[in-house]
Amino acid sequence: MFSHTSSGLRQYLLITGNYWAFTLTDGALRMLVLLQFHQLGYSPLQLALLFLLYEFCGVVTNLLGGWLGARIGLNRTMNLGLSLQLVALGMLLVPTEWLQLVWVMAAQALSGVAKDLNKMSAKSAVKLLVNEGGQQRLFRWVAILTGSKNALKGAGFFLGALLLQALEFRGALLCMIVLLTITLTISLWRLQPALGRAKRKPKFNEIWSKSQAVNQLAAARLCLFAARDIWFVVALPVFLSSQYGWDFWQIGGYLAVWVIGYGAVQSATPWLLPKRQSGSPHALLVWGSLLTLIPIATAMGLDMTQTWPLLIGLACFGVIFAINSSVHSFLIVHYARQEGVSMDVGFYYMANAAGRLLGTLISGLGYQLYGMPGCLWFSGVALLLAVILSVGLPTQSSSE
């Protein structure tokens, strides 16, 4: 199953644990910042601006991080991500009067670099650690890694809201710094030194993918994640707070349950799909078309006095979106080259980050102009584009 079996399994578990710890703090930090600054009176557009540099830096990091990982090794890019996240958390420990919009945006920018270095490293490493020749096996391990990461991110949302309520802003940050410091220490000590380093040092002008399948899948991924974040990043938490009067822990708890459930479905996708769709591009057309209908139906049935139409719609969205996302995550690892895998994966997640950037901007601006119904309609349009862009994807990787 794994290259060099026991050694490969240990490295896989170490990378997964590293990824889990980082994701837990990343989810908690997002919720901390969102709720803290909403409480301080920031408008939906200002809240979106707090995350714009985070997402923009993710675009740049994924594009350059894959090239960097191929040159210096995935262990170094992963540990660099952990280190930068510690710096970002430290920046938010300054006195309250320093926490102006520009300063928080700068801290979020560093966190965006850190997160995408960590994610690119983890996703690329799976391709190298799992033996070639088993498409279904690779699909399962990618799904487990991705799904468990999202479940932990959901737990992070709840943890962030809970820590903010229990320990306030600075106390919550200190708890996360301690967790990441322990994780970084273990990673520096045990992670394989040469993991993911290409035999031939790639040139800088090779950062752009030359694979049509990777480029097409990346474009579809951009639209898919823009569609999610249009309603999820700013619009939903602000709507739950301002329209329904939910407290911090209720908002954090709901988002946590949603993302944990979403992660669980992602992990189970290889077993949920019919065999003919398992790891197949055809699944993106079937499930993507179904997904497109959900935000539109939710917008049409939205009730400003009762929460259940929105919550049911978003629960259905989470299940179908998770299946689409899981197939996407497998296909990029499947299409990526064995030599310099981090470059294809990095390019793909650059598009993923660009989608989140676009979705974040529309979430704040769209909510301010058109409210929650407008954001849901925008989400439906983005999903339709994702389906169109998925037409004609190959079933085999370029190396097969």
SS3 letters for 353-399?
HHHHHHHHHHHHHHHHHHHHHHHHHHHHHHHHHHHHHCCCCCCCCCC
- Look at residue 225 and tell me whether its pLDDT is greater than 80: yes
The H or E element that residue 77 is part of is helix 74-91
Residue 400 maps to a domain:
no
Residue 352 maps to a domain:
yes
Give the model's pLDDT for residue 44: 74
Residue 377 maps to a domain:
yes
Q: Is 2 helix (H, G, I), strand (E, B) or coil?
A: strand
Mean pLDDT, range 152-168, rounded to an integer: 82
Mean pLDDT, range 225-242, rounded to an integer: 88
**pTM, entire model:** 0.72
Residue 2's φ and ψ, nearest 5 degrees, are -110, 150
Q: Could you tell me the two tokens for 234?
A: 């700013």
Of 37-51, 73-87, 163-177, 281-295, the one with minimum mean pLDDT is 37-51
**Quick one: pLDDT band at residue 400, thresholds 50, 70, 90?**
very low
* Structural domain total, the chain: 1
Nearest to 251 by CA among 20, 47, 114, 92: 47
The CATH number assigned to the domain holding 301 equals 1.20.1250.20
- Look at residue 393 and tell me whether its pLDDT is greater than 70: yes
Mean pLDDT, range 327-338, rounded to an integer: 77
Give the model's pLDDT for residue 379: 96
- Look at residue 191 and tell me whether its pLDDT is greater than 90: no
Distance CA 211, CA 57 (A): 24
Instruction: Calculate what percentage of the chain has a pLDDT beyond 90.
Output: 21
Residue 241 maps to a domain:
yes
Residue 394 maps to a domain:
no
Of 16-20, 21-25, 240-244, 289-293, the one with minimum mean pLDDT is 16-20
Residue 397 maps to a domain:
no
Give the model's pLDDT for residue 291: 96
Distance CA 212, CA 197 (A): 24
The more confident residue out of 212 and 130 is 212
Residue 111 maps to a domain:
yes
Distance CA 243, CA 27 (A): 24
- Look at residue 180 and tell me whether its pLDDT is greater than 50: yes
Residue 398 maps to a domain:
no
Mean pLDDT, range 311-340, rounded to an integer: 83
Mean pLDDT, range 101-121, rounded to an integer: 84
- Look at residue 101 and tell me whether its pLDDT is greater than 60: yes
The amino acid at 10: R
- Look at residue 364 and tell me whether its pLDDT is greater than 50: yes
Q: Could you tell me the two tokens for 378?
A: 């925008």
Mean pLDDT, range 44-54, rounded to an integer: 76
pLDDT 10s digits, 241-290: 888 888 877 887 888 788 888 888 888 888 888 766 666 788 889 999 99
**Contact present, 118 and 18 (Cβ < 8 Å):** yes
Of 230-239, 286-295, 325-334, 342-351, the one with minimum mean pLDDT is 342-351
**Contact present, 227 and 386 (Cβ < 8 Å):** yes
The H or E element that residue 113 is part of is helix 101-129
**Quick one: pLDDT band at residue 224, thresholds 50, 70, 90?**
very high
Distance CA 46, CA 361 (A): 10
Nearest to 29 by CA among 153, 184, 119, 116: 153
Q: Counting Cβ atoms within 10 Å, is residue 386 exposed (0-12), middle (13-18) or buried (19+)?
A: buried
**Contact present, 102 and 50 (Cβ < 8 Å):** no
**Contact present, 384 and 296 (Cβ < 8 Å):** no
- Look at residue 352 and tell me whether its pLDDT is greater than 90: no
Give the model's pLDDT for residue 339: 57
Distance CA 179, CA 395 (A): 41
Give the model's pLDDT for residue 340: 56
Structural domain boundaries, residue 54? 5-389
The more confident residue out of 2 and 161 is 161
Mean pLDDT value across the chain: 80
Give the model's pLDDT for residue 201: 59
Give the model's pLDDT for residue 203: 59
pLDDT 10s digits, 59-87: 888 777 767 766 777 778 888 889 999 99
Contact residues for 278 (Cβ-Cβ < 8 A; gap 6+): 136, 139, 270
Instruction: Calculate what percentage of the chain has a pLDDT beyond 70.
Output: 84
**Quick one: pLDDT band at residue 396, thresholds 50, 70, 90?**
low
